Amino acid sequence: MPRKKKIEETTDGIFKEEARSNIKIIPLGGLEQIGMNMTAIEYNDSIVVIDCGLSFPDDGMFGIDCVIPDITFLKENKEKIKGFVITHGHEDHIGALAYVLPEINVPLYATKLTMGIIEGKLEEHSLLDTVKRKVMRFGQSVHLGDFRIEFITTNHSIAGAAALAIHTPEGIIFHTGDFKVDYTPLYGDAINLTRFGELGKKGVLAVMCDSTNVLRPGFTPSERTVAETFEKIFSENTKSRIIIATFASNVDRVQMIINTAKEHGRKVVVEGRSMVNIISVAIKLGYLEIPDGTLISIDEINNYTDDQLVLITTGSQGESMAALSRMAASIHRKVTIKPGDTIVFSSTPIPGNEKAVTNVINELYTLGANVIVEDTHVSGHACQEEIKLIYSLLKPKYAIPVHGEFRHLMEHAKLAESLGIEKAFVMESGDVLSLNADEASIVEKVPAGSLLVDGLGIGDVGNIVLRDRQNLAENGIIIVVLTLEKYTNTILAGPDIVTRGFVYVRESENLIERAKGKIMNDLLDLLDQGNADWGKIKMVIKDSLGEYIWKKMRRSPMILPIIMEVD
């Protein structure tokens, strides 16, 4: 695929060749972890942004609601950005839009269900009337600056998932999105491998490919295998109430459960805020068909016997406030788990959630429930043989593994190069890959990282605040209150000690009294020297008390001195 050049005539009549600019691919998230997907693609004065996702906080991020990509690069190049192009409606691909769009208000492009889910989020954040949106059909293209972006049918664990063919002056950049190859999907169309092959014949410059399941050999099973498992579960548990936890976004799975429930004469209850919201959108847009008389509200469950009910709920990942977790903890207002209930986990734990899921399962067993976790879920991501198939059809010059942890990206690169791909680039967030039809290399790095969202604050909580929160969680806090006379610095009251999360004061009165005495002695020594600097006084309190507590208890609580001054 030779690189094209523009021929121009100079003022002296001599023709010269002007080389076009390189394409720049700039991941701002979605590497080093599964989540927070965002990639900018730049050519001359045009930038398109693929996806805008979040990730969820880990155990050490106390009080954090979610984590979004650092968008410093996008803000610095705001005038070049032509739009956000979204592959599908999962949180790790759309969850940051409500936080990013107030800073960078450009049009959104997505398929129908994806846009419906996004619009619900925009409405919550009062952005619906200010953000331009265009719903795309599969096979349709949109021109954004120097790019033409084509939406192509693919399969995933949510309807409306799209692969993107990004046509540029230097060649085609193909983004698979999250995908698997399902030849027999229960609903909707199979992945459009014909179009993949057609683009491969034209020539694809680079492929950005999903790496989630690259460590798994073989093929990802079809969703139809889960339908067979559910039929068996319903047939073998005819007398018990069935409660099924699954991802709210897996609309096809929900449709499967509803259809099976209808066949077995059961009413369906939907519980969990995200589940209710997404199902409402799916019904409105025609992605879910509910047989008449099948769906009932949770307030009606007492009107039916256990063998007449199926509950579809959130909480398959052990989230503490999700509906199933509250049921397991016996704090759900409407549903009480009873001996004999059949609980189905129709998902696999996301890495990092294993402990939380296990805790919920143990709580359910304690309440006498029968828990089923085997053969009730298939992944929405491609395994090795499917990834090989995609590369064989597209025949790219370069491979750019995305959507995975570092180990996934490394193994994906090895797999791609074993298929004869000229070069696979394992990138980090912020790397700038400059490429054309002749060459490609990582040339620079732009600001990248993560911003922590805490309530309405975005990025105002950083490592120092998190460290303080961790220290508070692990060691507690001691507040030392001291009252000094103005001008003379004579101690009028205190030092008084208040603790939280350190020791129970009533059971540690001797420790507290001795600590007060140690502080008092050190303060008197300081004040006798005529030192009136409050900073020095606070430092002495911290050092004196910190040293004493460490010697006595081997703990390092946060120490907060408070000095009051009176006339």
Q: Helix %, strand %, coil % for the chain, to 5?
A: 35, 30, 40
Q: Where are the beta strands (DSSP E) in 104-170?
A: 108-110, 133-135, 141-144, 147-153, 162-168
Torsion on CA atoms 138, 143, 146, 150, rounded to nearest 10? 10
CA atoms within a 13 Å half-sphere pointing along the CA-CB vector of 122: 21
The DSSP annotation for 85-106 comes to: E-----HHHHTTHHHHTTTS--
Longest dimension (CA), the chain: 97
Q: Which of 90, 156, 381, 408 is catalytic?
A: 381
User: Which tokens in the block code for residue 534?
Assistant: 């409050």
Catalytic site residue from 146, 210, 252, 431 = 210
What are the distances in angstroms from CA 339 to CA 41, 240, 300?
A: 55, 9, 21
Cβ-count burial 89-114 (b if 16+ within 10 Å, e if not): bbbbbbbbbbbbbeebebebbbbbbb
Paired tokens of 562: 């408070």
Whole-angstrom distance, CA of residue 324 vs CA of residue 470 = 28
Are 433 and 446 spatial neighbours (Cβ–Cβ below 8 Å)?
no
Q: What is the DSSP string of 306-324?
A: GGGEEEEES-TT--TTSHH
- In whole angstroms, give the CA distance from residue 196 to residue 492: 81
CA dihedral 272, 274, 277, 281 (to 10 degrees): -130
Strand order in the sheet with 309-313: 295-296, 267-271, 309-313, 242-246, 342-346, 370-372
Distance CA 118, CA 380 (A): 20
Q: Which of 275, 278, 157, 176 is nearest to 226 (CA)?
A: 157
Cis bond leading into 349, ω under 30°? no
- Rounded to whole angstroms, how far apart are CA atoms 345 and 229? 12
Distance between CA atoms of 155 and 395, rounded to whole angstroms?
20
Residues 6+ apart with CB under 8 A from 433: 24, 25, 26, 400, 425, 427, 440, 441, 442, 443
The alpha carbon dihedral of 534, 540, 546, 548 has a sign of negative
C-alpha neighbours within 13 Å on the C-beta side of residue 74: 28
Would you call 143 a catalytic residue per the annotation? no
Asked if 93 is an active-site residue, the reply is no
**DSSP state letters, 373-412:** -TTS---SS--HHHHHHHHHHH--SEEEEESB-HHHHHHH
Please report how the helices 224-236 and 251-263 are oriented relative to each other, as an axis angle in degrees rounded to 10: 40
Catalogue the active-site residues: 210, 381
